[in-house]
Structure 1
Amino acid sequence: MDTEPTEVIVLGAIRQGKKNFGKIQKATNIKPDELEGILSRLEKLGHIMVVTKKSWFGARIEIMITDKGSNELDNRLFEARERWGQMQQLYQKKDKNGLKDMMDGNRSFLPMMMFFGIMDIMMFSMMFSMMGATMTDYVPAESVPEGFDTGDAGGDAGSDMGDVGVDNGFGGGDFDFGF
């Protein structure tokens, strides 16, 4: 099967227990209209099924992954792990051009690798540094993990940060030894 990386991310979110549209959308950060199209394609492929359940508050729609969808997800994750292994080998060999070509050819896989935690973010960051690139050259900003420095913050590199609230673990210097 040729499922797109965003479809694989959605399958993963469903398998992780996100069973309704809102939870899937929140977990994947995919725009609602795009997510609707992805869910429709996955249903046509037989990777998911929509189940209507009755509850106290009326009908509730749940999205379930099928065995076929689960197998597809496993295959795609295996493939992504292999690609990550190849990228690591190229980095360790210091093959800058080979790594750049590999990353260029796998741009669509990178957000998927990040979503599933396949890649080591520190090594990924070092790969960009070796190539002289930033993460946002390859990964859309909305797919970058929260709090991760993408290398293109745009601030004044020479500015004084002032007091950033670091107390080095001593609580501002007034500690008691207990004597």
Structure 2
Amino acid sequence: MIYRFFIAIFVAGLVFVPTDFSHAAEAKLGKITPNGPFRLWTAVNKGLVEYAFVKGGSALKANVAALTAVPTTGKKPGHVLAQGAEFRAALDNGRAKYNLAPSKKYRDPKGRAVTPAVVFLNAGYMLDGLVRLIEAQPNVKDFHVGIIYVVPKFSGKSPSNVFALAELATRRMALIAEN
């Protein structure tokens, strides 16, 4: 019995040894392509269609779903991040109405230029913020938010493709806010 206790303490010590995993995280974040943020913005737009239904029923859902992305060219991750900031402002405005804290923001701790990883993490925070906003609605019943997170994998996407989805999300959020 005492033998098992010491083994458990030893294993716990190995598990909780302070370690700097930031280099491993940076390596993984450095491998993110625009396909990752595109996938998250696809989920955000999917979530906005569901949010429209919860807020205004079938008619608003149809109007929001009818809005489509406008193709753009020449965009860089910084453009996507700026467009995402516009969306975040509208999202956080909606969240404030339900006493929800503003959605989280990711800033590169080293102050490096905007990368797909920074765009990816911020899009993820906004997606989670949207899901929490949907859950806060008084008339949401038996809504399974997991469906919002189910999106296909993409390849060959560019920052311009991601920008188009972020801009679409901003327009969709504005339409929902008007109703």
Question: Does the TM-score normalized on the shorter chain lie above 0.5?
Answer: no
**Larger RCO (alpha carbons 8 Å, 6+ apart):** 2
Structure with a larger share of its residues in helix: 2
TM-score, reference length from structure 2: 0.28
TM-score, reference length from structure 1: 0.28
Structure with a larger share of its residues in strand: 1
